[in-house]
Amino acid sequence: MTNPAKAAVIGAGISGLACAYRLQQLGMDVTVFESNSAAGGMIDSVEKDGFLFEAGPQSFQGTPALFGLIRELGLEAQLQKADPRAPRYVLLHGRLRKIPMSPQALLASTLLNPVSRWKIASEPFKKSQPPTEEESVAAFVRRKFGHEILEYLVAPFVSGVYAGDPEKLSLKAAFPTLDEWERQYGSVLRGAMKSRPPKERRTGAPPLCSFTHGAATLPRAMAAKLGEALHYDARAVSVDFAAHRSTAGAACEVRIVRDGQEQSASASAVVIATPAYAAAHLLETSSPQLARALSGIAYAPVAVVASTYYRQQVGDPLEGFGFLVPRGEKVRTLGTVWNSSLFLGRAREGSLTITSFIGGAADPDIIQLHEENIAAIVSEENARILGITGPPVETAVWKYPRALPQYNLGHGHVVETIRDAERASPGLYFAGNYLEGPAVGKCVENGFQTAETVRKYLQTAR
């Protein structure tokens, strides 16, 4: 492992895989080091006794970059798309209410009181100026639309996407488009309308997607393409991007532990595609200041609980995507996805599968409980909400103490520190869901962009 490679990627989550796969497609010599025995990070699909469980993301939003990748990998025949018209629900006062999916539907809905609806209706005709200091998502929504919309709609959505606290989450970092619309147009809704593509190019919202054998089909296919370039059970322990600057063809040294033995690998470029806290550990010695910035990114804990029931056990018809829960409902479950209603093949005939998320920034202690206790809490709450009788047929629980990065206030400064470090350290790059968004599509795009940057550097450095 002492011979210099063109590029080394540390971490085979979705971001690292996308980066390494694109480098390979660009004709670059690439080596990937993954500490686990499988690729994909939190994206994992488990098939058991006729049921299909998702251990992490339950689906992904189809984007042009993702659809292009799916075509390249020959996965189009396995692609599944959920019905975009399927309703979503929010739990209010103990019962499920349909979430209006457009400003017009919100105005007609009784979900909100007349004052909140008037704030929505009048917002496009007003011009507001954002504060000079960085604003939280909660502060922004209260200022623009009021507390009710924050509590009933925005806070549950934030819990579903980031497992985060809207009081701490940065609007500019987590939802930059909203911040930009207000700054440019003085109105979020006016900005949304002016930013819409021409009628002939409108295709609607990106669909929610998966595959016949689950979301893990995508990372598994990229891992298969990488072949022997992907090294499993190879744990990186340090990265020194100054050690080999005097050595032709090698800018970085990576220390790897395999089979209990520490080895050294050198490369012309290194992409760190691990979570931020792991990246901080890798750089503790070579760049303490950067390591401190990375370690400052908070992560929210989440437990994922997948359950199957016989159809006759469930009173609710489960027609739609599932439901989210406002914190005021005193329910610990953040939300539940109705997998069998979204995609075929998630359960045996006469049965159904649902998946719940619990924990997050507002309830971090849940991760300390045993899996059986977590499952019991979720089962009791779902039974109450959905009219379920009897225990689940099958249950699987996954605990992630650090599941999702939090784009909290100040996050933009951390990202800029990382980008400054890249500019100051030729051959060192970062990719991951803490940089440009946690969505699968964003991670793939970030991985592709990083690969292109690495390619340009390697071609220039020849």
* CATH number of the domain that residue 167 is part of: 1.10.3110.10
Domain range for 385 is 45-63+70-84+299-405
Residues 396 and 308 reside in one and the same domain = yes
Could you write out the DSSP letters of every residue in 302-327?
EEEEEEEEEGGGB-S---SSEEE--G
Residues 274 and 418 reside in one and the same domain = yes
Question: What pTM does this model have?
Answer: 0.94
pLDDT greater than 80 at residue 292: yes
pLDDT greater than 50 at residue 41: yes
Condensed to tens digits (0 to 9), the pLDDT of residues 241-258 reads 865 454 445 578 999 999
- Answer with the one of 145, 165, 196 that is the final residue of a domain: 196
Q: Please tell me the distance from the alpha carbon of residue 84 to that of residue 205, in angstroms, as a whole number.
A: 8
Residues 154 and 183 reside in one and the same domain = yes
Give the residue-averaged pLDDT of 358-362.
Answer: 96
Residues 6+ apart with CB under 8 A from 348: 49, 50, 51
What is the pLDDT, as a whole number, of residue 204?
A: 61
What is the pLDDT, as a whole number, of residue 101?
A: 83
Residue 89 lies in a domain: no
CA atoms within 13 A on the CB side of 387: 9
Residues 125 and 176 reside in one and the same domain = yes
Q: At what angle do helices 14-25 and 64-72 cross, to 10 degrees?
A: 60
What is the pLDDT, as a whole number, of residue 245?
A: 52
Residues 325 and 412 reside in one and the same domain = no
Residue 94 lies in a domain: no
Of 25, 20, 23, residue with least CA distance to 10? 20
- Answer with the one of 380, 405, 430 that is the final residue of a domain: 405
- CATH number of the domain where residue 437 is located: 3.50.50.60
Give the residue-averaged pLDDT of 374-399.
Answer: 98
Range with lowest mean pLDDT among 10-24, 115-129, 196-210, 233-247: 196-210
Residues 222 and 182 reside in one and the same domain = no
Give the residue-averaged pLDDT of 147-175.
Answer: 95
Residues 422 and 456 reside in one and the same domain = yes
Give the residue-averaged pLDDT of 110-121.
Answer: 91
pLDDT category at 352 given cuts 50, 70, 90 is very high
For residue 127, give the amino acid letter: K
Q: Please tell me the distance from the alpha carbon of residue 405 to that of residue 300, in angstroms, as a whole number.
A: 7
Residue 180 lies in a domain: yes
What's the mean pLDDT when you consider all of the chain?
A: 93
What is the pLDDT, as a whole number, of residue 4?
A: 43
For residue 351, give the amino acid letter: S
Residues 6+ apart with CB under 8 A from 367: 301, 302, 303, 359, 399, 400, 401
Q: Please tell me the distance from the alpha carbon of residue 43 to that of residue 63, in angstroms, as a whole number.
A: 18
Residues 148 and 272 reside in one and the same domain = no
- How much of the chain exceeds pLDDT 90, in percent? 86
Residue 132 lies in a domain: yes
Q: Please tell me the distance from the alpha carbon of residue 276 to that of residue 299, in angstroms, as a whole number.
A: 9
Residue 425 lies in a domain: yes
Residue 256 lies in a domain: yes
Of 223, 226, 250, residue with least CA distance to 239? 250
pLDDT greater than 60 at residue 201: no
Give the residue-averaged pLDDT of 170-181.
Answer: 96
Condensed to tens digits (0 to 9), the pLDDT of residues 150-160 reads 999 999 999 98
Phi, psi of 85 (to 5 degrees): -90, -10
Which residue's structure tokens are 């699909």?
Answer: 45
Q: Please tell me the distance from the alpha carbon of residue 9 to that of residue 271, in angstroms, as a whole number.
A: 5
Residues 312 and 376 reside in one and the same domain = yes
Residues 344 and 327 reside in one and the same domain = yes
Residue 415 lies in a domain: yes
pLDDT category at 147 given cuts 50, 70, 90 is very high
Cβ atoms of 171 and 135 closer than 8 Å? yes
What is the pLDDT, as a whole number, of residue 87?
A: 94
pLDDT greater than 60 at residue 237: yes
Residue 78 lies in a domain: yes
Residues 192 and 125 reside in one and the same domain = yes
pLDDT greater than 50 at residue 2: no
Phi, psi of 68 (to 5 degrees): -65, -45
pLDDT greater than 50 at residue 81: yes
Range with lowest mean pLDDT among 183-197, 323-337, 359-373: 183-197
Q: What is the CA radius of gyration of the chain?
A: 23
Cβ atoms of 320 and 89 closer than 8 Å? yes
Q: Give the number of domains in the chain.
A: 3
Residues 316 and 368 reside in one and the same domain = yes
pLDDT category at 397 given cuts 50, 70, 90 is very high
The sign of the dihedral angle between the CA atoms of 319, 321, 322, 327 is negative
- Answer with the one of 358, 375, 405 that is the final residue of a domain: 405
